[in-house]
Each structure stands twice: as structure tokens, then as C-alpha cells.
Structure 1
Amino acid sequence: MQLEQLLKSLEQRQQAPTQLWNPPYCGELPMLIDEHGQWHYSGSPIQRAALVKLFASVLVKEGDDYFLVTPVEKVKITVVDVPFMITTWQRQQHQQDQVIGVTTNIGESFPLSTTHPLQMRGQVPYVDCGRELWAKVHRNVLYQWAEIAEPELYTNALGEQRERLVLTSAGQKFTLAELEPDPKSE
């Protein structure tokens, strides 16, 4: 099995073809996705995982707004931060390459790769889920990644030598943290 085949096999995404639909805007729905990726309707958490997965399959982002889109209607919903949370991960070795597979709170899995990169926003890591939708990395996953991340020296934009922690997945390096220089050593 080639690396590309492995990456494709790790992707278990089932999305509706929302990019093909252009329904009329029908207003706002009292639906909220909180900062932990928990979906709520009219103030109550949605407990049925299958229902959340169904809604997630028709979720789109346009600018800063989120919508649920079907062939016949488009409704706006509220997302506090990002719609998903990376809750688990697994490391796989494929020939020479290590691949980090991630799974969201709704059970979607995909590899950390150039298609699904890790991005730091301040001190908080996020992973691109595709279609302009992102997942925040759960604190437990972050702590586990910090244990396996490798230190790397680099030169910043000011020409200063700095150190950072990087994760390697699918032949790519992703910065997990910029390390502050030790004031005693300067």
C-alpha cells in the first residue's frame, strides 16, 4: 500500500454535495455549536449522535457565518468557535513515514497532512477538516502530542535562533508550540 492509499483509507468522511446546491436563504435556526463542539437546539444539547452527524454533513461556512444547507433551504446557525473537536488520535507507521490519524467528536477520521494541516491560533491548535471547517484539538490530545513532539531549531523572521516542538505526519512537519528562550541562557 502506498502512502497516498493509506491517507485516503484513513479519510472516512461522508459529506453531502452542498457545493452543488444553491437554495434560498430561509432565516436563522436556534441552533448553536458551543466552544467544545457540542451541538444545541433551542438551548438544549442534541443527544443523538446520528442527528449531529446528519447536520454536520450539510454544514457549510461562508465568510464568518455557518449554514445548514439542503437542496431546498439554507439556514444560518451560530458557532461559538469552530464546529468540531479533535478528541482522539492514533499514530501509524507506513514504510518510512509516520502518519497521525485524528478523529473528531462526530466520529470523522482523517490524517494530519497537507490536506488537513495543523494550525496554531495563539496557544490553541486547530486542524483543518476541509470545506473551510475546523476542529479545535482537545486538551488531552494536545498533552499527548506534546509528549511525542520533537524539538527543532529554526531561525525566526528577525534572524534569531529559536526552538519549537513539531509533529511529523505524512512527511510534513507541523508546529505544535514555539518555545520561549530561557532568559538565563541569553
Structure 2
Amino acid sequence: MPAPPPPDFANLSLTDIARLAQEKRLPPVDKWNPEHCGHSDMRIARDGTWFHQGSPIGRIAMVRLFSTILRREPDGRHVLVTPVEKLDIDVEDAPFVAVELKREGEGRAAKLAFRLNTDELVSADADHGLRFEQREDGPRPYLHVRGGMEALIARSVYNELAQIALANDSDPPGVWSNGAFFPMEPA
């Protein structure tokens, strides 16, 4: 039986998003310590596309499943882990992409939530911070998802954040979410 479709992000309140994010039970990958078994022949491209043996994985349900067993190791590597095996996976930038933003409130009272390319929902707060890097090709904004893993924020979503920051008239420019302030300048 196929999994039910994800809820329509546009029609969810931030309260609904926070509840759904808390209800989602992920496997306890941080507690699993199996033997390393090699490489998975998988790669996550910068745009969030998952590949296996060079071909894109076309079934989003498979990508969602694999994303739940993804873990970042202390040395920075990413692995797919189960209770009995651990396989390396190449990640070009970040393992997730934040593709949609929802905002409620203004200024310090604002709350921001993001939908990832895997349909996971993340509310920006002190535990799920935003950070901004400046690179030669322009700014790179990131959202902390879990366990040291981040989502690269899609350009269109970054533009929305920039508009919010300009409207805040803060110095330095930045955005508020759930009581935390995130300056939009590189750390």
C-alpha cells in the first residue's frame, strides 16, 4: 500500500507544521553502529536530485525513505545506515533543499517554516538555525535540519527571506523565527 501523499504545505498553519514535524518519527540512526560495508553507489546532487549508479532516482517515495536513514558522521561524511549496515553516500553540497517557505507574524513575532525537497517540514528556531555563507558564485543560505545535516535554501526561497529581512529594517539585516534572530550576513 503506497504511503499517503504529503499534506499541502500552502494550506497548513505553522501550528499544523510544528505538530506534523514533531509527530514524524524517524529511525534512531544515531543509535545504530553497524560495520561499514562500502559505498552505496548513490549521490545527492547540489539541486537535491538523488542518483543511484549515475541515474536519477525517479520515485520520490524511495528518496523519502532513503532520507530517513541518512546520517552525517563526525568526520563530515554522509552515510545511509540501518541496524546491520552502513554505506557511504556522496553529497555535493547539502543533503536536502528547502524548496518552500511559509511565514506567520512580523518582526520578532515571526515564525518561519520550510518544506524540503523530501517533503519533510522544518520550523526555523534555535535548534534549526539559518546560516549564510558568501562564496565566489554568490550567497549560500542553509537551514539546519537534524544531526548536523542541512538544507540548501533554494534561490526563490532565499529571495523571500531577503525581502523579509529588508522589511525588518534590522542591523545587520536578518530574519526572526520562533524568537531566534538569524543575521543574513556570513558568519
CA distance in 2: counterparts of 1:71 and 1:98, whole angstroms: 40
Alignment TM-score, normalising by the size of structure 1: 0.81
The residue aligned with 2:149 is 133
Matching of residue 114 in structure 1 with residue 118 in structure 2 = no
Kindly indicate whether the alpha-carbon contact (under 8 Å) linking 1:10 and 1:101 is maintained by their aligned counterparts in 2.
no
Alignment deviations for residues 43-68 of structure 1 (CA, whole Å, 9 cap, x no partner) = 11111111001100000111221110
Cα pair 1:118 1:128 within 8 Å, conserved: yes
Q: How far does residue 97 in structure 1 lie from its aligned partner after superposition?
A: 2.4
**Residue 10 of structure 1 contacts residue 111 of structure 1 at CA under 8 Å; is this kept in 2?**
no
Structure with higher helix content: 2
Q: Percent identity?
A: 31
- TM-score after normalising by structure 2: 0.81
Matching residue within 19, 43, 46 for 1:9: 19
User: Could you tell me which residue of structure 2 aligns to residue 38 of structure 1?
Assistant: 49
1:100 match: secondary structure: strand
**What is the alpha-carbon distance in structure 2 between the residues aligned to residue 142 and residue 8 of structure 1?**
21
The answer as to 2:136 corresponding to 1:124 is no
Distance 2:49 2:76 in 1: 19
Structure 1 partner of 2:88: 76
- List gaps (5 residues or longer) in structure 1: 154-163, 179-186
Greater than 6 Å deviation, 4+ residue runs: none
**Bigger Rg, which one:** 1
More strand by share: 1
How well do the aligned residues superpose, as a CA RMSD in angstroms?
Answer: 2.0
Aligned to 2:11: none
Question: Structure 2 CA distance, aligned partners of 1:167 and 1:10?
Answer: 23
Residue 145 (structure 1) aligned with residue 155 (structure 2) = no
> In the alignment, is the contact (CA less than 8 A) between 2:71 and 2:81 conserved in 1?
yes
Residue in structure 2 matched with residue 168 of structure 1 by the alignment: 176
**1:111-167 alpha-carbon deviations (Å, 9 max, x no partner):** 1100100011222110000111100000000111111212323xxxxxxxxxx3111
Is the contact between residue 39 and residue 46 of structure 1 (CA under 8 Å) also seen in structure 2? yes
Counterpart for residue 104 of structure 2 = 92
Determine the structure 2 residue equivalent to 1:183.
Answer: none
SS in 2 for 1:11: helix
**Alignment partner, residue 161 of structure 1:** none
